Amino acid sequence: MDTRGRLRRFPAPEASNSISSRPYRWGFVVTLGVLSAALLALAAVGLKSVLLSVFIAVFVALGLDPLIRWFQRRGLKRAWAIVTVIVLFILVVAGIVLILVPPVVGQAVSLVANIPTFITNLRDSGWFETVNEQSNGVAATVAQNIGAFLSDPNVWATVGGGALQFGAAVIDGVSTSFFVVVLSIYFIATLDQSKQACYLLIPASKRPTVVDYAERIMASVGKYLSGMVVLAFINAVFSTILLSLVGVPYALILGVIALFVTLIPLIGTVLTTTLMTIVSFFVSPTAGVIVLVVMLAYMQLEAYVLTPRVMGKAVQVPGTIVLISALAGGTLLGLLGALVAIPISAGILMIIREVVIPRRARS
């Protein structure tokens, strides 16, 4: 009789991988994970300037990509279109450095030095006396406090004490700007290759879908950034011409301020209009009223004519989300964050609308 048939087969004991069976191992693994995350966070904080420079360069390349495609549609091969855009980019940067920076710096220094004179002239003007009487002396008190603050030697001693820090910040800003320009040129030249290399990291089964959404999001980002720069440039040129015509000094530096501030969605033009109006009232009430009225008219032209033509359908984001995104981005990364937060929000909304919601509907 075969005794093997009567033998009971006991299953082999299963290896237990529960946390309770190996607490020390799991504690060690969790501790290593926490330490790794902390080290990565410290490294990111230490390299924040480098990461921000790379971030800026990537968005510069995405913003110039629509111009490259425009040259391609005009018959240029992509290689020559890239070379053309790079040359134009270098010429613009060189023009800003050689032509625009010296007078802007000179006007900024002169503006700071002449602030006390402006306040004295304001107090001596006839219309200021009328405003002061109607405000029961509040206007004179405010002007006196501002003048006393600017005339205090301790204030200028504090400014002078921070001169070395300011100089170091300027040197750091120049070196960072040079790095960003060089990195932007590299990304412009290798944008397609960089994207294809990133796409290879995605599983082949999901690659077509991810590539489709990524290309659409990056195209939207590029159109949005290039459109915002065009609108900001038009606003800056118009503001500079307007301030020059009404006799406002330092029109050039105010125009440069308008160029950067108007990059902030929705509220940028309002902020620059407010600043220009206040400065113009220091010259004369007539100049202030003219600047206010003309800029209000320009805001309507920009909202209903220029923006639809320049931006097209680059970004479709509700107004409330635009404001929230701009505030959040500005808090995290300043002006750059406010600028890029809108296309990023548009990409997130597109993924939610075309991926998340359909999956929820099918479940």
Q: Among residues of the chain, what percentage have pLDDT more than 90?
A: 5
CB proximity list for 254: less than 8 A, separation 6 or greater: 239, 240, 243, 248, 275, 276, 279
Per-residue pLDDT band for 318 (boundaries 50, 70, 90) equals low
Please give the tally of structural domains in the chain: 1
Dihedral sign for Cα 35, 41, 42, 44, please: positive
Handedness of CA 197, 204, 216, 81 (dihedral sign): positive
Instruction: Give 332-350 pLDDT, tens digit per residue.
Output: 766 667 767 777 777 787 7
pLDDT attached to residue 164 = 44
C-alpha closest to that of 189 among 50, 65, 71, 51 = 65
Which residue has tokens 């620059």? 272
Residue 36 pLDDT grade (very low, low, confident, very high; cuts 50, 70, 90): confident
pLDDT-based confidence at residue 331 (cuts at 50, 70, 90): confident
Q: What is the pLDDT of residue 173?
A: 58
Query: Domain for residue 322, yes or no?
Result: no
pLDDT tens for 219-265 read: 777 777 778 888 888 999 999 999 999 988 878 888 888 888 887 77
In this model, does residue 190 exceed pLDDT 60?
Answer: yes
Token pair of 298, please? 């320009």
Supply the pLDDT for residue 75: 86
- Is a pLDDT exceeding 50 seen at residue 157? no
Residue 169 has pLDDT above 60, yes or no: no
Residue 135 φ/ψ, nearest 5 degrees: -95, 10
Of 147, 143, 125, the C-alpha closest to 135 is 143
Long-range contacts of 266-274 (CB under 8 A, 24+ apart): 266/319, 266/322, 266/323, 266/326, 267/323, 267/326, 268/232, 269/235, 269/295, 269/298, 269/299, 269/302, 270/299, 272/235, 272/239, 273/299
Judge contact between 90 and 214, C-beta under 8 A.
no
> Which range scores top for mean pLDDT: 1-15, 29-43, 94-108?
29-43
Task: Look at residue 132 and tell me if it is in a domain.
Answer: yes
Q: For the chain, how far is it from start to end, CA to CA, in angstroms?
A: 59
DSSP state of 14: P
For the chain, how long is the longest CA-to-CA vector?
Answer: 127
State the Cα–Cα distance between residues 188 and 64, nearest whole angstrom. 7
CA distance 15 to 168: 61
Indicate whether 326 belongs to any domain: no
The pLDDT of residue 227:
81
Distance separating alpha carbons of residues 171 and 184, to the nearest angstrom: 20
pLDDT score of 355 more than 60: yes
Instruction: Identify whether 336 is part of a domain.
Output: no
Closest CA to 123 of 101, 95, 105, 147: 147
Question: Is residue 359 in some structural domain?
Answer: no
In whole angstroms, what is the distance from residue 159 CA to residue 56 CA?
A: 30
Mean pLDDT of the 345-360 span: 79
Residue 139 has pLDDT above 60, yes or no: yes
Q: How far apart are CA 332 and CA 314, in angstroms?
A: 24
CA–CA separation, 150 and 238 (whole Å) = 32
Q: What is the predicted pLDDT for the residue at 162?
A: 45
CA atoms within 13 A on the CB side of 190: 11
Residue-wise pLDDT tens digits, 282-309: 778 888 899 999 999 998 888 888 877 7
What residues contact residue 163 under an 8 Å CB cut-off, 6+ apart?
Answer: none
Q: Which is more confidently placed, 7 or 118?
A: 118
* 221 within some domain: no
As a whole number, mean pLDDT of residues 23-49 equals 77
Residue 92 forms part of a structural domain:
yes
Look up residue 49 and give its amino acid: S
Tokens of 108: 């900024």
Residue 72: inside a domain: yes
Tokens found for residue 183: 């990195």
Where is average pLDDT lowest: 13-22, 179-188, 273-282, 292-301?
A: 13-22
Among 51-60, 136-145, 168-177, the range scoring the smallest mean pLDDT is 168-177
H/E stretch holding 139 reads: helix 138-151
Q: Please indicate whether residue 323 or residue 9 has the higher confidence score (pLDDT).
A: 323
Q: Which residues have CB under 8 Å from 149's CB, separation 6+?
A: 155
pLDDT at residue 294, rounded to an integer: 94
Q: The tokens of 171 are what?
A: 């040197």
**Per-residue model confidence (pLDDT) at position 291:** 92
- State the residue range of the domain holding 125: 49-201
Tokens of 119: 């306040």
Phi and psi, residue 258, nearest 5°: -65, -35
* Model pLDDT, residue 293: 94
